[in-house]
Amino acid sequence: MLHSLSILIVFLCFLNNSYAQGVFKIDGGKQSFEMDFENVNDLVIIPVEVNGVELNFLLDTGVDSSIIFSLEEKDSLKIKNATEIKLRGWGQNEAMTAIRSTGNTIRIGKASHADFTIYIVYDHQKSLSNRLGFPVHGIIGNAFFKDFVIEFNYAKAQFTAHDANSYTYKKCKACEDFDLVFSNNKPYLKLLVNLDGSNPKPMVLLIDSGSGDALWIFEDPHQDIHVPDINFEDFLGFGMGGSVYGKRARINNLKLGKFELEAVTASFPDTVYFEGITTFDSRNGSLGSQVLKRFNSTFDYKNKRLRLKPNKIFSEPFEYDMSGIILAHDGYTVVKDFENNNSPVFEDKEDSYKGVVVYKSYSKVKFKLEPQYKVVEVRPNSPAEIAGLKVNDIVETINSKPAYKYELSAINKLISSGEGKSIRLKVSRNGVLLNIQFKLKKVL
């Protein structure tokens, strides 16, 4: 069963801060290259080399500019031609200071760019890496997509980038092609959305692979776009301006041409979070990775074309997190470990049997730094809240297993899906150990 993690990455940051740049070129004049990516909570993370330093970037169709927002471990990165600017992002915080840098050298897979513009945000409140449990230093979108036709395969965690000037489409009866509309270098798609079982409504949605949700929909009384009656309040996402809250619900269905998805999970952000953010006037929301991952997709920015082909998880149900908690990496904890060395020793003493092999065990105590996980969000009336879990609790064990032995993505899967499954947590609260137990439950 699939689950929709409440870790949405909302980086709709810039107020028309795009600048003309050069192009990516594939090594040796080749026409394409393949590249593996990390699928972290259904987000695409790729290695990007910036001026000789390798970083991890979120590859996101929903942004027009490239940003570095975490440099804690990469202090040796040198940037060029730096000027200071102000940016505004989703969330309630004020505009933040950033650096615009031009003339940088970028390498992604077998392609490079010799005159790349990038933004560096130094005072970003929280690290995306902490929320994902995976090191992520930046985000890249249009600057990469505009130079290629990119074929995504979520199942294989791989994409193929083709030279946009030489790509030819193959016949595909199972596929459907869509026209893309662009505004501020971001791709939009016109779809039919049935909110509550009444007449479907045409909507214009930003294609936002950097959102871990299925849909974001903006309420609009003038277009009769409203939150379904059955809904709940929740933390929706984490943007460069801070946390975003709103309501979650299920819509009746979503039609993408001949493809139809039923009972789709949808988020309705409170309007306060996007006031003052410049967006496409006709936009009604966003289409996120919980929908995109159900297709093999081909993005062709040059010809304003998107091709979709359903994959093996197309028909799997959409589900919300069933625990009601969001965890984040919160530094490290010191763990005592024993290093055992059971090595054979050949004994040949006068008072022993000659030729007998004796195993001697040596144990040495070691201290290691292991990841520590903290509760950063608790949904009201969720199984976790009812059981007594609170924000800032440190998770020590999960079902009797030390929490540090899990990757954060594995914990998210374990504690968020499987209705009726029991979750046993031992948490530290102000130095006191507490046992908390609850059962996962569907919220809608």
Helices first, then strands: H and E counts in the chain: 5, 30
Say which CATH number the domain at 258 has: 2.40.70.10
Q: List, for residues 101-125, the tens digit of each pLDDT value.
A: 999 999 999 999 999 999 888 655 4
Measured in whole angstroms, the distance separating CA 88 from the mean position of its chain's CA atoms is 20
d(CA 401, CA 100): 45
246 neighbors 273 (Cβ within 8 angstroms): yes
* Residue where one domain finishes, among candidates 133, 163, 193: 163
**Using 50, 70 and 90 to split pLDDT, how confident is the model at 128?**
confident
pTM of the predicted structure, to 2 decimals: 0.84
Looking at the 3D structure of the chain, how many domains does it have?
A: 3
Give every CB contact of residue 350 below 8 A, 6+ residues apart in sequence: none
Q: Are residues 336 and 432 in the same domain?
A: yes
Confidence tier at 64 by pLDDT (50, 70, 90): confident
Most confident of 123-127, 201-205, 336-340: 201-205
| In a shared domain, residues 16 and 152 | yes
Strands 9-10 and 231-239: parallel
Beta pairing class for 242-256 and 186-194: antiparallel
> Average of pLDDT values for 293-300?
97
Asked if 442 and 434 count as a contact pair (C-beta separation under 8 A), the reply is no
Residue 412: pLDDT over 80: yes
pLDDT at site 12: 40
In whole angstroms, what is the distance from residue 238 CA to residue 10 CA?
6
Helix (H, G, I), strand (E, B) or coil at 134: coil
Q: How far are the Cα atoms of 108, 223, 313 from residue 1, in angstroms, in the given order?
A: 33, 34, 10
For the CA atoms of 206, 69, 100, 147, the dihedral, rounded to the nearest 10 degrees, stands at: -50
pLDDT at 257: 94
What pLDDT is recorded for position 11? Answer: 43
Average pLDDT over residues 205-220: 93
In a domain, 228, yes or no: yes
CATH number (domain holding residue 353): 2.30.42.10
Confidence label for 15 from pLDDT (cuts 50, 70 and 90): very low
DSSP state, 171?
Answer: P
The string of pLDDT tens digits covering residues 161-174 is 999 999 999 999 99
User: Does 17 or 130 have the greater pLDDT score?
Assistant: 130
**pLDDT the model gives residue 387:** 97
For the chain, the C-alpha Rg in angstroms (whole number) is: 25
* % helix, strand, coil for the chain, step of 5: 10, 50, 40
Indicate the SS3 state at residue 100. Answer: strand
pLDDT score at 123: 53
Tens of pLDDT along 268-292? Answer: 998 766 655 545 568 899 999 999 9
Write out the residue range of the structural domain in which residue 201 sits: 176-310
- What does the mean pLDDT of the chain come to? 84
Are 5 and 212 in contact by the 8 Å Cβ rule? The answer is yes
